[in-house]
């Protein structure tokens, strides 16, 4: 094993609390810090002659920073809650909290070398280091439930090793519940926000993502499914070094997908077309969908011009009925058939027979807007689109209707979140994509053959 170089030694690290007790202590510190910050701010305001409201004392940048700092230190499910809330509900949060929680998507701190070694010893056994020519303890990436290291084996393999933070799997349910409760009690979450669906999804997604053997199986499955599509590049799995907490894959070079922002228009358009084409194949052909919309799951090999696909922990089977209903929904929108669209939305359960007519029309209007890119022949210009803002505003208006409390099935929410994530990436890259043509080719393959 090579010793860490100077850069390794200077990299900031932070041990992950692995026991339930230590994790609860962290959460307690968060609550205490928020309360202390509230008292301090109240004293300052009173000294100036002001009579602040309790909500004003709670919703301060300092309190928001305390919450985000503790979530980042816990990682795992706790950090995932902050990520999901910031991604799904950014416009509903106070600006200070939205900004700071948003940083959780990229601000995970790495485990120190000693903790990495403990995890590898537990999973690979004593003497594991004898299999490696070099193991880089400074991670290439650190996220909510694990971090990735580069390693070279004695038999010549160049690997990316994903190592799960200790205690993550065992603390998922309690972390999610405790953090959500503290966010509510602290006043840092608006009282009217219903984040229960997000929390249920966070638990299920984290339990799936925390099983690296499961992820490895899906990585291999996607390699088989995309064997006819060389424009996609996936790392190979190394099963001999993979456990539930350690995932060994080929190291694959690639630039962050956002780095394409300065690429020629045609290249940006091509990459987003590949991503949308893949998602349509996942839903309607593979019946298997990688549901995590995180941009970090995609990279781009500028030498081979191939799209690199990473992280299959959030992969879910897509039921045939759901795929059929989603197909009907897209076809109806493309045909401007409002009655057919209403029938598809009813079948998916975006509303039911008891839903008031005004709410049914509101859902139809939102769906029509959301499917707008599929309806424009010749290509949709995401770079000039304000679609997410319009859909979000309409959704918030509907959400404030106390008489309407219909939530679609979790599978439907996952699909809409994945499509929404690609919309956001296409907007970021200012791409133009012929989604109408892609959908026609996917949903009407016989017409394509003619």
Buried residues in 3-17 as b, exposed as e (16+ CB within 10 A): eeeeeeeebebeebb
Active site residue 292: yes
| Given the residues 292, 311, 325, 411, the one annotated as active site | 292
Residues 6+ apart with CB under 8 A from 323: 283, 284, 287
With left for phi above 0 and alpha for psi between -120 and 50, is residue 150 left, alpha or beta? beta
- Beta bridge partner(s), residue 110: 13
User: What is the DSSP code (8-state) at residue 5?
Assistant: -
**Contact by Cβ (8 Å): 197, 410:** yes
Q: What is the DSSP letter of 110?
A: B
232-233 and 306-309: which strand pairing? parallel
| Residue 445 host element (H or E) | helix 445-449
CB atoms within 10 A of CB 167: 19
Tell me how far the alpha carbon of residue 396 is from its chain's centroid. 21
Q: Which of helix, strand or coil describes residue 107?
A: coil
Residues serving a catalytic function are 292
């Amino acid at each position: 094993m090579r010793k860490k170089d100077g850069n390794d030694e200077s990299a900031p690290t932070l041990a992950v609390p692995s026991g339930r007790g230590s994790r609860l202590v962290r959460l307690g510190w968060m609550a205490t810090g928020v309360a202390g910050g509230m008292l301090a701010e109240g004293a300052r305001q009173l000294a100036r002659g002001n009579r602040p409201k309790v909500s004003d004392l709670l919703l301060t940048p300092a309190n928001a920073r305390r919450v985000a700092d503790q979530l980042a230190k816990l990682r795992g499910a706790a950090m995932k809650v902050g990520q999901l809330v910031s991604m799904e509900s950014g416009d509903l949060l106070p600006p200070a909290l939205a900004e700071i929680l948003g940083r959780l998507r990229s601000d995970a701190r790495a485990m120190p070398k000693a903790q990495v070694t403990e995890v590898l010893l537990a999973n690979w056994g004593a003497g594991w280091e004898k299999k490696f020519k070099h193991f880089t303890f400074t991670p290439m990436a650190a996220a909510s439930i694990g971090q990735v290291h580069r390693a070279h084996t004695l038999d010549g393999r160049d690997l990316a090793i994903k190592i799960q933070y200790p205690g993550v799997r065992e603390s998922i349910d309690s972390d999610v519940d405790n953090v959500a409760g503290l966010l509510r009690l602290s006043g840092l979450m608006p009282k009217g926000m219903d984040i229960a669906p997000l929390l249920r999804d966070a638990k299920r997604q984290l339990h799936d993502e925390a099983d690296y053997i499961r992820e490895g199986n899906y990585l291999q499955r996607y390699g088989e499914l995309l064997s006819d599509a060389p424009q996609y590049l996936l790392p190979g799995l190394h099963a001999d070094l993979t456990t539930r907490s350690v995932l060994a894959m080929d190291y694959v070079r690639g630039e962050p997908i956002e780095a394409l922002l300065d690429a020629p228009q045609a290249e940006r358009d091509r990459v987003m077309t590949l991503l949308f084409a893949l998602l349509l194949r996942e839903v309607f052909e593979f019946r298997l969908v990688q549901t995590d919309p995180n941009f970090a799951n995609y990279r781009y090999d500028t030498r081979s011009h191939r799209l690199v696909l990473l992280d299959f922990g959030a992969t879910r089977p897509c039921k045939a009925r759901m795929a059929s209903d989603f197909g009907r929904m897209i076809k109806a929108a493309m045909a401007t058939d409002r009655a057919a669209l209403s029938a598809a939305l009813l079948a998916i359960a975006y509303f039911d027979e008891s839903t008031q007519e005004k709410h049914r029309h509101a859902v139809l209007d939102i769906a029509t807007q959301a499917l707008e890119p599929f309806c424009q022949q010749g290509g949709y210009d995401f770079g000039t689109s304000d679609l997410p803002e319009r859909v979000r505003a309409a959704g918030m208006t509907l959400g404030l209707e106390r008489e309407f409390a219909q939530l679609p099935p979790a599978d439907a929410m996952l699909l809409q979140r994945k499509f929404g994530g690609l919309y956001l990436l296409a907007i970021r890259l200012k791409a133009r994509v012929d989604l109408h043509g892609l959908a026609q080719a996917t949903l009407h393959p016989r017409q394509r053959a003619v």
